[in-house]
Amino acid sequence: MTTRPTLTVLPGTPPIPVQWRWSGRARRLSLRVSRLDGRVTLTLPPRVAHAAAEAFLNAREDWLRAAVAEAHAPCPVVAGTLLPVAGQPLQVIAAAARGVLAQGDRLLVPDRGPPGPRIAAWLKLQARDRLAVEVASFAERLGREPRSLRLRDTRSRWGSCSSAGDLMFSWRLAMAPPEVLSYVAAHEVAHLAEMNHAPAYWRTLAGLMPGYEGPRQWLRREGTWLHRFRFSD
């Protein structure tokens, strides 16, 4: 039996990962680019040949690259924006609210002034609270104690650990799935014992968070789109 592909990469600059989704309800091939994270999905009927699907994908490469570029373009956070919070897309809604509040699939924000700065401040609080809990849990298991925990908005790294035990994290991790935030916390706490990426470090990390590979791959594959959201007024 031929194994059906679940993921392919369209070569080029940049390479584009394409998720294959086989559906018994599909009547034709279709491509979708998520407006939230730029993820590409190719939906296929059950009996479509692999070669036909590849030809369909290649024939639509120009359209696909334009759609992916648009999806990853800077996105100002305004009323109506779909914003990921803990990995879930919430729609920003201006409301008669005293503060920012996640409610179902909506993110309510006071209808006075631009919402971006308020939401950024709220995300920073979410990140600090959640990271503090995760760091404390991992540090207790490791038997080490960090000296400080700070938040920044960095593009080059999601977290860091100094030789003195100061931990730094990107507050944009509040937008990522919870297991991804947990992985970054474990990654940096592991550096309290091993200040490198030698095999001993990865053994330490695996002891703190078995199965860390999945969240690590998510961050490498999807993390860049968290930076497309602009919160300035």
- The CATH code for residues 118-230 is 3.30.2010.10
Tokens of 38: 């730029």
Query: Which residues are CB-contacts of 112 (< 8 A; sequence separation ≥ 6)?
Result: none
More confident residue, 69 or 35: 69
Portions of the chain given CATH number 3.30.2010.10 = 118-230
pLDDT at 159 over 70: yes
Lowest model confidence (mean pLDDT) among 30-34, 76-80, 113-117, 150-154: 30-34
Mean pLDDT of 5-19: 84
Confidence (pLDDT) at 1 = 45
Mean pLDDT of 87-101: 94
Do 156 and 207 meet the contact criterion of CB atoms below 8 Å apart? no
Question: Across 6-127, where does the E strand assignment appear?
Answer: 7-10, 16-22, 30-33, 40-44, 75-76, 82-85, 88-95, 101-103, 106-110
Task: Give which of 228, 218, 158 is closest to 186, Cα–Cα.
Answer: 158
Confidence (pLDDT) at 79 = 95
pLDDT at 209 over 70: yes
Mean pLDDT of 32-40: 80
**110-150 tens-digit pLDDT:** 999 999 999 999 999 999 999 999 999 999 999 999 999 99
More confident residue, 221 or 51: 51
